[in-house]
């Protein structure tokens, strides 16, 4: 299982939110590159970089930070937040992203999403499947698309999507454990490489996600709050 450490960006700084609420913003480091280098120095290889400014602006904003991290580390980066147009996705890949996470666009412009899947390949496009009470959430988790998350993932798997990252919004940043039952249900019914995100608070949570069969686990707040050490995650990889 891939261990993927998250860095969320607002105003050029490394932050975390709770349940996607911008009013809960907490700054952990003024320099995201410093955090990325610490991740790499501890033997981890994967980074989930989220442009929260881009999520609000509905266009990529922090591509320069992506460019800096990709040029100064060897981390494999998946980038998300504000990817809404051909210009956005080109900027992300040209700035060093190995993969791009696209969620809102899959709902609002499915034809464009399909075109990206065909143009860039299913190894490089990750379906964002975030949900609240099982219903897909989009636009920075401010809107509900109304579709059940399992149906959403299954439908996109059938069209060729290989990877999906699934966050249960109500668990994000709460440090009360991941949505293990939901992930198990999704994996039982689809052939998707599922990346778990949200709620992970301990090494046991990570091991539980691994046992279910998730392809990856995104870990953020637990690292920043000192509940899990980077070197401990390295030993799980």
Q: Which residues are catalytic?
A: 8, 130
| CA distance readout (Å), 229 to 38, 56, 192, 223 | 11, 31, 29, 6
List phi, psi (to 5°) of 91: -60, -40
18 neighbors 172 (Cβ within 8 angstroms): yes
- Specify the pairing of strand 216-219 against strand 193-197: parallel
25 neighbors 53 (Cβ within 8 angstroms): no
14 neighbors 27 (Cβ within 8 angstroms): yes
DSSP 37-95: HHHHHTT--EEEEEEHHHHHHTS---HHHHHHHHHH---EEEEESS--SHHHHHHHHHT
């Amino acid at each position: 299982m891939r261990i993927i450490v998250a860095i969320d960006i607002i105003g050029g700084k490394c932050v975390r939110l709770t349940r996607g609420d911008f009013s809960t913003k907490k700054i952990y480091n003024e320099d995201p590159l410093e955090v990325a280098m610490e991740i790499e120095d501890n033997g981890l290889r994967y980074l989930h970089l989220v442009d929260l400014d881009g999520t609000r602006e509905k266009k990529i904003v922090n591509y320069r930070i992506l460019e800096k991290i990709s040029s100064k580390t060897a981390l494999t980066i998946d980038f998300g937040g504000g990817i809404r147009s051909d210009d956005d996705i080109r900027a992300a890949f040209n700035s060093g992203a190995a993969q791009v996470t696209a969620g809102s666009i899959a709902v609002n412009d499915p034809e464009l999403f399909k075109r990206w899947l065909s143009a860039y390949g299913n190894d490089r496009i990750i379906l964002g499947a975030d949900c609240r009470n099982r219903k897909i959430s989009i636009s920075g988790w401010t809107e509900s698309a109304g579709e059940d998350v399992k149906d959403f993932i299954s439908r996109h798997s059938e069209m060729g999507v290989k990877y999906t990252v699934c966050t249960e919004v109500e668990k994000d940043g709460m440090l009360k454990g991941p949505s293990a039952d939901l992930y198990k249900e999704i994996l039982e019914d689809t052939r998707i490489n599922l990346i778990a995100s949200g709620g992970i608070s301990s090494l046991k949570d990570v091991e539980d996600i691994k046992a279910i069969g998730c392809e990856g686990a995104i870990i953020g707040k637990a690292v920043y709050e000192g509940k899990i050490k980077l070197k401990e995650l390295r030993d799980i990889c």
